[in-house]
Structure 1
Amino acid sequence: MPRYIKVDQKDNIVVALTDLEEGLSIEMDSTNIHIQEHIKAKHKFALKDFDSGDEIIMYGVLVGNATGPIKKGCGITVDNVKHASAAYGSSKEKYHWTPPDISKYKDKTFMGYHRKDGSVGTSNNWLVIPLVFCENRNIDILEGLLVKSLGYGAKKDFAVDVNSLINKYRSGASDEEIYDTPIISSYEEMTENRVFQNIDGIKFLRHDGGCGGTRQDSEMLCRLLAGYIVHANVAGATILSLGCQHAQISILKEAIQEKDPKFSKPLYFIEQQKSGSQQKLIEEAIKHTFVGLAQANQATRKPAPLNKLVLGLECGGSDGFSGISANPSLGYASDLLVALGGTTVLAEFPELNGVEQELINRSKTGALGRKFSQLMDAYSQKATAVGSGFESNPSPGNIKDGLITDAIKSAGAAKKGGSSPITDVLDYGEKVTRPGLNLLCTPGNDVESTTGLAGSGCNVIVFTTGLGTPTGNPVAPVIKVSSNTTLFERMNDIIDVNAGTVINGGDSIESMGEKLLDHIIEVASGTITVKAELKGQHDFIPWKRGVSL
């Protein structure tokens, strides 16, 4: 296994793949380097002597400036480097792309649900949605009444025996005896008793919006909810409205019509202020939902070409290995899918800071490059106005594991988008309509971003992580990919695929990219259920368009 790597020939810092002890002598670019201090795995060290103000280059781009002298072989840290990123403008040259070899995949298909609008779902779900937070309690009631009765719920979970602790406490047990009492047992909840065998799940989209705040937030919520309702993975929906909120039924209907003019799925609206009582509201909602499920149950999986996949590209809880293992592997899988005529979507605009020019150069038209620049500029200005610019994006966990500036984090995060040309640039809530690589303006916040990816039409999401996260989504299966093997082994209950083999030399970027695409096809066909779905992890947080990094 290699112990360090220079990611790009232009780089003047090097990544430690294992802990490097002080005094170690290595050779890089025909130069002998003595490691001057202990360098932890995932962190970086200087390839040359730096003076204050000198540029720090990684992934071939500017990622920071030295804040003081840094000797060759010393660590790159928050104490000696500050965030910096390159300016950007219009594209100066035509972009040329060489697609990867797709001969292995050209005749492959996945088993999906074919919709009347030509899209293909990777799952078949029914949605129950509140138009306003006032209806969340009714959503809770409906979930309690419907999920287990119809044979749904988390497939694998654990039982907690709190009564054992109560009995110990009542018998006068010590704190140590209570701590030593086993209370967790795993179990598997069987799903063979589903009433509707072709419905993969009933999903409940609670949120805290729809009224209060700004009218624009409520209108954006309606556009986002419309994206979920017309989604290829959705068979139909039951909508609960109070009646007086900003997010009116009429606004949602207009948004659905805009996204799918020939919309024909079962859709039921129930307004509490017209129902007469909560009891009648619940009764009406259950009966409508049951009838809709019976209709939606007629759908079955059929073969579909891989170009019907719309793949969301997401990362979160990133570490110093994310940008050299999991993210570029996902980028290669993205390139394969694009070469097959499919669609991929790269989000998280605060984590594209520093690589804007590369993405502008890859845009198929000048108009797309300008739209991307405008969205980035507006986002950056809002963040700066409240004293929290893009440089504030890295979390304590990111920094602890080697991502010490936003530009380092961003340059690695952008690798998820591979190298294919950019065919469209979308704002939050806009629907994906063009094959190829799309850019979608979302926050770096994991759940707000995955919520937006699904709302724009992604029927599968791949989520790379170096630190671990349980994040899932109500409608789009979220495949979790670890950047390192230690994480995969430690949090195997929530991680689906291990890309840490790229670090130890067991896989190349290309071979891991193919493994990822193979896994995506299995998930899209319903033959593999992602860990987040097994855990019932259905995260849904709409972005209110405030500053969220």
Structure 2
Amino acid sequence: MSAVTTNPFISLHADDNIAVAARQVPAGTTLEIAGHSLTTNDTIDLGHKVAVTAIAKGQPVKKFGQTIGFASRDIPAGTWVHTHNVVIGELELDYACASDIPPDPAPITGRTFMGYRRPDGRAATRNYVGIISTVNCSASTSKYAAAQFDQALLEQYENVDGIIPLVHKAGCAMQYGGDDHYQLNRVLSGFAKHPNIGAYVIVGLGCETGPGSFLAEKTGLVQLQIPGQQPEELPLILNIQDVGGVRKTVERTVEVLKELLPEANKVRREPIPVSELILGCECGGSDGNSGVTANPALGIASDLLIAHGGTSILAETPEICGGEHTLTRRAATKEVGEKLIERVRWWEEYTAKFGVEINNNPSPGNKKGGLTTIYEKSLGAIAKGGRTALKAVYQYAEPVTEKGFVFMDSPGYDPASVTGMVAGGANVVVFTTGRGSCFGCKPVPSIKVATNTPMYERMVDDMDINAGKVLDGSTVEDVGAEIFEMIVATASGEKTKSEAQGIGDEEFCPWSIGPVL
């Protein structure tokens, strides 16, 4: 797909009755769109929609060839189409599981990236040492210990990217052995076991509901061994109450880290097949062009990675609402499709308990950028997943073992969603944004892709790729290839702009599903 630079609107599908503005179009502009001559009745901002034909009250509004809402009043051709004249309405979706399974892409072999090969065979793109807090009560202690290692000290270990305190607000006031407890365990163990974590220490308080001993026992954590010390079955766990308080625990944690750092530093980058990359796909701060430029371009990159034998994860269950039928059709089996539907139904029940609807999106910023309904947002978000078959559906933070395109259940909140994908094994993240989300996610690099040129130029210190070029005539395929090449380069050690600014310490955000007791 390519944009026509002489026309300020992009028509995405033959069945659409709207077009999307590639730049601001003044009222009174006369032009032809998809064979229809019209004059704009309103000023149409970048990313917003114009009615290509008259849309009668109650009739569906179509974008991407799909229904994104219904006209709440008669909408003449040339009129701005948005929240003032569109309601979400009810969709009747035919899931038709596994009815349209795409063939696997032609395999591409021989491509490698320069990564770290762990002794157990896992492939890493970065090499961090982690301090894992079991509970918020040990968060400050973990941060104080990490702060003892200034840049000059860390520069002695040129192959270590840094020390990260993985701190959060949970870990207690939950049902012991309940769903929330096990989900937090999946997150913490997923980060501890992540190939990008070369070594770690667990710091707890000592009386929390989610103790380090339970975490280690239930998830089989094993610590990097320090030469000269007796091997341990379980990782090193420091509880503030046992060690003798915050100050003593900080001192003890620092001692342990000083012993772990030389061992973690011994790795060297080496060629590793691109097939061992696991990509986490995220979008945040979306706009009306997210589904036109950056997201479909990321879908191209996702398909390229899968052709190389790799894995691509799509997440954010509340943000596939209204578009999930396009995924169930692509499910490799009926069971995979039904598992996705089950997750959507779970979210509908979950949100209803709190008097909230799953379709309470888009956010005010999304609407300002041109997104009108969750259906529109979802259809654009799903484009990140490319066009290959859906091979598996995973619970939040569950280890991802299937190759190809997969889905992980997660909330739409970006930090929580990415935390789940990283815990599941993602070793590179691509994050698309139209409004300008600033995001990093240590220990995994995050590539930022802008959906439009004005935002890219305004936030050039934060954006790695400008997919807004699609609005100026570049093809989605070309931008997708550019994203793929940056994925390989980033996996090989090239720093993203968020990494260059040190962003990523605060974005660790395990999703809590249960009540706080």
- Fold equivalence (TM over 0.5): yes
SS in 2 for 1:91: coil
Structure 1 unaligned regions, length at least 5: 152-193
The question of 1:265 aligning with 2:224 is answered: yes
User: Corresponding residue for 1:531?
Assistant: 497
The range that moved more, 88-97 or 327-336, is: 88-97
1:488-519 CA distance string (max 9 Å, x none): 111111111111111111x2111111111111
The range that moved more, 356-365 or 22-31, is: 22-31
User: Corresponding residue for 2:232?
Assistant: none
1:93 to partner: Cα distance: 5.5
User: Corresponding residue for 1:189?
Assistant: none
- CA 1:285–1:42 in 2, change beyond 3 Å: closer, same or farther? same
AA paired with 1:110? F
The question of 1:348 aligning with 2:348 is answered: no
Contact 1:198/1:299 (<8 A) preserved: yes
Pick the aligned partner of 1:37 from 42, 45, 62.
Answer: 42
The question of 1:254 aligning with 2:217 is answered: yes
SS in 2 for 1:362: coil
Contact 2:432/2:448 (<8 A) preserved: yes
SS in 2 for 1:198: coil
Q: Distance in 2 between matches of 1:99 and 1:510?
A: 18
TM-score normalised by the chain length of structure 2: 0.92
1:197 to partner: Cα distance: 1.5
1:522 to partner: Cα distance: 0.8
Mapping for residues 448-527 of structure 1, pairs under 5 Å: 448-505=416-473, 507-526=474-493
Pick the aligned partner of 1:111 from 100, 109, 114.
Answer: 114
1:148 to partner: Cα distance: 3.4
Q: Distance in 2 between matches of 1:8 and 1:296?
A: 52
User: Corresponding residue for 1:187?
Assistant: none
Contact 1:84/1:407 (<8 A) preserved: no
The question of 1:142 aligning with 2:140 is answered: no
Contact 1:130/1:239 (<8 A) preserved: yes
The question of 1:204 aligning with 2:165 is answered: yes
Name the Cα RMSD after superposition.
1.8
User: Corresponding residue for 1:129?
Assistant: 132
1:444-466 CA distance string (max 9 Å, x none): 11111111111111000000001
Mapping for residues 137-176 of structure 1, pairs under 5 Å: 137-148=140-151, 150-151=153-154
Contact 1:223/1:255 (<8 A) preserved: no
SS in 1 for 2:142: helix
1:386 to partner: Cα distance: 2.2
Mapping for residues 25-64 of structure 1, pairs under 5 Å: 25-64=30-69
Q: Distance in 1 between matches of 2:497 and 2:35?
A: 46
- CA 1:19–1:280 in 2, change beyond 3 Å: closer, same or farther? closer
SS in 1 for 2:359: helix
AA paired with 1:230? K
Q: Distance in 2 between matches of 1:225 and 1:145?
A: 23
1:71 to partner: Cα distance: 0.9
Contact 1:442/1:449 (<8 A) preserved: yes
1:253 to partner: Cα distance: 1.2
TM-score normalised by the chain length of structure 1: 0.87
Q: Distance in 2 between matches of 1:135 and 1:93?
A: 47
Q: Distance in 2 between matches of 1:62 and 1:255?
A: 46
Q: Distance in 1 between matches of 2:400 and 2:435?
A: 30
SS in 2 for 1:50: coil
The question of 1:328 aligning with 2:296 is answered: yes
Q: Distance in 2 between matches of 1:117 and 1:367?
A: 32
Contact 2:97/2:330 (<8 A) preserved: no
SS in 2 for 1:359: helix
Mapping for residues 74-113 of structure 1, pairs under 5 Å: 74-84=79-89, 86-91=91-96, 94-97=99-102, 106-113=109-116
1:264-316 CA distance string (max 9 Å, x none): 63542111222134343222211111111211111111100110100000000
User: Corresponding residue for 1:230?
Assistant: 193
Pick the aligned partner of 1:242 from 181, 187, 205.
Answer: 205
Q: Distance in 1 between matches of 2:12 and 2:437?
A: 26
Contact 1:317/1:468 (<8 A) preserved: yes
1:51 to partner: Cα distance: 2.2
Q: Distance in 2 between matches of 1:93 and 1:352?
A: 17
Structure 2 unaligned regions, length at least 5: 226-234
SS in 2 for 1:146: coil
SS in 2 for 1:353: coil
- CA 1:255–1:265 in 2, change beyond 3 Å: closer, same or farther? farther
Q: Distance in 2 between matches of 1:264 and 1:367?
A: 37
Pick the aligned partner of 1:391 from 359, 365, 369.
Answer: 359
Q: Distance in 2 between matches of 1:529 and 1:92?
A: 40
Contact 1:383/1:390 (<8 A) preserved: yes
SS in 1 for 2:62: strand
1:25 to partner: Cα distance: 2.2
Q: Distance in 2 between matches of 1:332 and 1:101?
A: 14
Q: Distance in 1 between matches of 2:498 and 2:295?
A: 20
Q: Distance in 2 between matches of 1:401 and 1:85?
A: 24
SS in 1 for 2:302: helix
Contact 1:219/1:251 (<8 A) preserved: no
User: Corresponding residue for 2:402?
Assistant: 434
Pick the aligned partner of 2:347 from 371, 379, 393.
Answer: 379
1:147 to partner: Cα distance: 3.6
1:44 to partner: Cα distance: 0.4
User: Corresponding residue for 1:163?
Assistant: none
Q: Distance in 2 between matches of 1:99 and 1:484?
A: 31
1:7 to partner: Cα distance: 1.0
1:214 to partner: Cα distance: 4.1
1:102 to partner: Cα distance: 6.7
1:89 to partner: Cα distance: 5.0
Contact 1:63/1:85 (<8 A) preserved: no
The question of 1:280 aligning with 2:248 is answered: yes
Q: Distance in 2 between matches of 1:452 and 1:482?
A: 23
- CA 1:474–1:545 in 2, change beyond 3 Å: closer, same or farther? same
AA paired with 2:23? T
1:111-152 CA distance string (max 9 Å, x none): 01112343200001110111111112212211221243523x
Contact 1:229/1:256 (<8 A) preserved: no
1:354 to partner: Cα distance: 1.2
AA paired with 1:530? T
Contact 1:227/1:429 (<8 A) preserved: yes
SS in 2 for 1:438: strand
Q: Distance in 2 between matches of 1:383 and 1:470?
A: 27
1:65-102 CA distance string (max 9 Å, x none): 11111111111111110124633455356434356677
Moved over 6 A (4+): none
